[in-house]
Structure 1
């Protein structure tokens, strides 16, 4: 399913996909890495369940 979305974005002229993954969400981090995304930065300011959480900013050129 993800590949279909990526193909659609590419067909519409999108050059880069960026997304955020919570630091403690290892399954999601593994999934996005397996799909070619790279970690650009680590941010600390997202509020999840009333707690400050860190997340990775990830990107992939398409």
Structure 2
């Protein structure tokens, strides 16, 4: 019997996003604002049913 310890690899934690602090899932929208507390948001968490079209310079939903 070997007394060597087996190294068990633990899964790396996935980064969390959005106000809900959950992992990335479904469709998400990015915030490019300099003062934005987070970069990515789940659509449902910011009250959207689909991603906005085009680039917006100011989005009060994510501010």
TM bucket, shorter chain: under 0.3
- Larger-Rg structure: 2
Structure ranking higher in strand proportion = 1
User: Normalising by structure 1, what TM-score?
Assistant: 0.23
> Which one scores higher on RCO, CA 8 angstroms, separation ≥ 6?
1
Structure ranking higher in helix proportion = 1
